[in-house]
Structure 1
Amino acid sequence: MGIELVWQEENGKELARLSDPSSLLGKFLPDESDFGFVCLRFVDPYGDTIFNTLQIPVVLQELQARLAIPLSPLVEEHLRKAIALVENAENHIHTYLRFIGD
């Protein structure tokens, strides 16, 4: 099982989910030592990572930047789905993005 991406309200109600049964999300995350990424480098593949409303635009920008790297078609498709989910989450107050690791 890969890293699930969930958009949720502050009470935990799920608004959207991108499942990752093929472990694709981890293939486009930056390395934790890549200081060019202020949010995505902290996604824990083995635990939960939560980003708040103020961080969501940064997460979106960083995901979009990952489109510039060479990716397999399956990984790129998963990245585009992640971007779409985060775009939906942008500008909504009291919501969070949760990356749920293995």
Structure 2
Amino acid sequence: MGRVAIVAYKPMPGKEAALRTLIKKYVPCLKEAGLATDKESFILETKDGTIVEVFEWKSEQAMKKAHTNEQVQKMWREYAEVCTYTPLNRLPESASLFAEFTPLN
């Protein structure tokens, strides 16, 4: 059974464009490796410029396999160079009953 992931990336100063480019390649990389479903991901932006991504892993096992997949590991290292991960409850939008975001895809 699939597992939905929601992740928030806070771009480092001056790395906004690099983060956006990387995000566009991430889920296609997971799909190519057989780790993500064919469902379209959502890429959203908060008012402070944090980017939120919602996508579906194929399974819990696929999530575990990502930790040994060379291509995924390479992308995770690239993410570390351009952003920090932010817990969802730290997004100002999470305080609203209906959180609103700007769609980027």
TM above 0.5, yes or no, is: no
Q: Which is strand-richer, 1 or 2?
A: 2
Q: Which is helix-richer, 1 or 2?
A: 2
* TM score, norm. by length of structure 2: 0.34
